[in-house]
Every structure is written in structure tokens, then in C-alpha cells.
Structure 1
């Protein structure tokens, strides 16, 4: 069986392939950072309470359980990371590639905490590293199946995927949708009237996993405007998912 030639071999073809893959990898990393930190919105700093969730998957006193779509999204978003590592560094051991992805994910989680722009969750690191491992394994299988043509073939595939991703991101960014700033959610009077309201005080077990917003009574909460002698009440809002 002919051994697959590493992409980094010193030929003009493989050198061009490596350069193209490196450029596509850089574009992917840019989009990944934008997605994880700012959810493809205009970059901002602050506005979200700093929360660190060290218990994966299940709910805790400070955060709710990880949603299935969120877990799956974290896995899928990091598969290209492992794939690019497998293509650009074919001799890298699988455990080292997984460690690189996990370290990158941990740095992104730390950045969310430092910038106060999202919840730092161990679940994300685990699923991101798992996605990277899946991508790296896919690169190994492709090299065995395609041999020396792996680099050129995957350059075309990755270029198409990058073009599709750029078009999708541009469409999302250009969409005429009014997005609320991080940490805020505008409420109309009709929304306020339909939301469950509880008396002020410590959050109960039912309140955990929700954003709690203190609203001065008399500010239009409820049809009658509320009791003018009360200081505040709490309106529980469904927590927005954070990748």
C-alpha cells in the first residue's frame, strides 16, 4: 500500500495546497472566535453577569442544564478545527490534537469570563474537544482512503465549505433584525402583563436557570400598574442560551 504523502512535503503542489489550507484555517478560526464570543453580532464588552459552571451538562445553583441543541452545536462547530489539524499536521498524535482544541476552547471560555460577554461552561470545553477529535479522526480516515490526493481534494472541499459559511454569515449579519444589547431584553406592556411575577427576595429553586430582572412597581407591570407602596417585584425571563 502506498503511504500517504504528508501535505508539508517539499513540492510545489503540496506547498500550494498547504498555503491554501492554512488560509482557509485562518478564516475558520476568525469565524469561530466571532461565533463563540459574540454569536456573530457586533463585538461588545460587558453587559452579562460573570458565571463559571464547572459541573458539566447538569443544572447548578448558578446555571441551568445544557440544552441538547447547544451541546450538539458545540460539537459540530469544532469538527473543522480537528480536520484542519489533521490535514496540516498529519504526524501529530491524536491526543495532542485534542489537547490543542481543548486549550483553545478553554481560552475562549476564559475570554467570555474576562470580557463579561457569556457564561463560562465546562460542558463547552468537553464538547468542543470532542468535536476536534472527531474532525481529526475524519482527516486520518480521508488520508487512508485518498492517499496522496487528500490535500488537493480537501482543499477544494474546505474552500467550498468556507464560501458557504461566509455567505451564511454575511446574510445573517445583513438581515434587518433588531438585536437587543447583551444583558438586556426590551419588554412591551403586553409582554409584561403576560409574564409570571413573584415577590422580591432570594431566587427560589423554580427561579434558577432564569434571568431575574427587578422592575419598580408602577412602571407598567401588570394591567393595574401594581402596588405603589412596594419597592420592587421580580419578573422571571427564560434564560437566553449561551454557547
Structure 2
């Protein structure tokens, strides 16, 4: 009968409604980590000045920009797989193209923020890879619904909770390590007096080399030239002692007059 409700669909929807508060919290944590990772690469938030880069042709080299690296494309895809999962669970009534449109819009917003804040390269490749990641998340959700049925929401919430805890621990370990994926350019707006310690060497952000890396504070190891060494003239021969004045190392300067006959 047309009026008979579909029991399987209703049980899945009821399970999703029961776990919605926990899903919302996990989704908020995911979004915060996503924005921090994409914009600032898990570094201290900063803003640039004039260095803005836009690459409009995906994947291949164009306009003076190199081709996209496979590792970066894969990472951009994996970062947005949870977005498809979360949106599919939180908005089960949405058609798949609405979820994909929301993922693509979020990716485009992050790329626009990178351009406005001058904190990275705005690349169409990232939008394509992010959207593909959201689609992959939707496919995983559809596969889980086929296998798990009414237990889909409960199992996925537990899996997302474990993944969130692992992501938070990994982020904390990365922040505590000396490794950095990015940082402010030489003209960035970070406080100039901040010093960082890398590999036991102190770096000063106020002095940078031509390569954009902060110069390290190393003790001077220069030695005086033979011409400037005390007790020697330009020819390198010892200087004759002056008969008028002599310096006594352990006492004050004394004036000595030549002996009179």
C-alpha cells in the first residue's frame, strides 16, 4: 500500500535523530580542525600582506605555476571525506547533489579566504579534490547503510568520535614538534619580536635571509687580520716600542721620558 511507511528507512532516520547532538559536536570540531589545517597548516593564525597566488587551471602547470603534486591532491581529497559523511548523516533528506554543492561551496570559501588573507595559494585543483572527497564520503555512507541498516548512525558516530580524538591528539603532537608545513612570508603580519627555536638554534623573525628563512643567531668566529693585530705593522713585522709611552698590562698607563745624558 502507498500509505504504508518504509520501516527500514524510518528506523535509519530515527537512529540519526537520536545521535544528532553528538554528531553536531563532532562536526563542529571537524570544521575547526579543517579551517586551521587549510588556512594555517596547524600553525599560529597569521595574515599576509601582498603575496597572493591564484591557479585557475587544475592539475597541470599553467601561468607560471607548477603542476599539482599527487600527495597534495590526495591530502585535499582525504580532508573532505568526513564532510560528506557528516552532511549525509545530519541532513539525510538532502539529495546527493545538494551535499556535493555544499562541500564545493565550503571549499571555494576556504580558497577565497586564503586569497583575502594572503595565507596561501588559491588553486582550482583544491576545489576539485575537496569536492571529490565529499563525494567519496557520501559513497562510504551509502555503503555503510547497505551493510549496517538501522545501526548505521550509531556505528558511524562511534567511528567519528574515535577519529576525532585521534585527530586532536595528532594535531597536538604536530604543534609540539619542530616540524612546520607553512608559515608567514617575510612580509607577513606576525609580531616581529617572536623568536622560534628549531633544532636547538634560536631564530629571529626580524632578520630574514634572501630565501625567506629567518637568520640564526650564531657567535662570530671571525679573527682579526694580521694587519690589525696588535704589535704588528702593515708589513707584518713587529712594531718598535715607543720611547715616550708604554702600557703596563697590570697597572695604569705610565709616561716614561727618555733618559737624559
TM-score normalized with structure 1 length: 0.70
Residues 89-168 of structure 1: pairs in structure 2 closer than 5 A: 89-168=91-170
Task: Give the length in aligned residue pairs.
Answer: 186
8 Å Cα contact 1:47/1:182 also seen in 2: no
The CA distance in 2 between the partners of 1:106 and 1:16, in whole Å, is 32
Instruction: Give 1:143 shift.
Output: 1.4
8 Å Cα contact 1:48/1:183 also seen in 2: no
Instruction: Give 1:87 shift.
Output: 1.3
Aligned mate of 1:29, from 28, 31, 36: 31
Range 176-185 or range 18-27, more displaced: 176-185
* CA displacement 1:97-139 (0-9 Å, x = unmatched): 1110000000000000000000100000001000000101111
* CA displacement 1:52-88 (0-9 Å, x = unmatched): 1110001112321100100010111100000111111
8 Å Cα contact 1:55/1:122 also seen in 2: yes
Which position in structure 2 is the counterpart of 1:66?
A: 68
2:2 maps to 1:3: no
Q: 1:147 to 1:167 in 2, by over 3 A?
A: same
- Structure 2, unmatched stretches of 5+, are 1-5, 188-209, 213-261
Instruction: Pick the structure with greater CA Rg.
Output: 2
8 Å Cα contact 1:53/1:62 also seen in 2: no
Q: 1:151 to 1:48 in 2, by over 3 A?
A: farther
Runs of 4+ in 1 over 3 A off after TM superposition: 4-9, 13-16, 176-181
The CA distance in 1 between the partners of 2:137 and 2:31, in whole Å, is 15
Which position in structure 2 is the counterpart of 1:86?
A: 88
Q: 1:6 to 1:19 in 2, by over 3 A?
A: farther
TM-score normalized with structure 2 length: 0.65
8 Å Cα contact 2:55/2:63 also seen in 1: no
- Secondary structure of the 2:103 match is helix
Which position in structure 2 is the counterpart of 1:19?
A: 21
- Secondary structure of the 1:46 match is coil
The CA distance in 1 between the partners of 2:161 and 2:183, in whole Å, is 33
The CA distance in 1 between the partners of 2:182 and 2:56, in whole Å, is 28
Aligned-pair RMSD on alpha carbons? 2.6
Specify which structure has the bigger relative contact order, considering alpha-carbon pairs within 8 angstroms and separated by 6 or more residues.
1
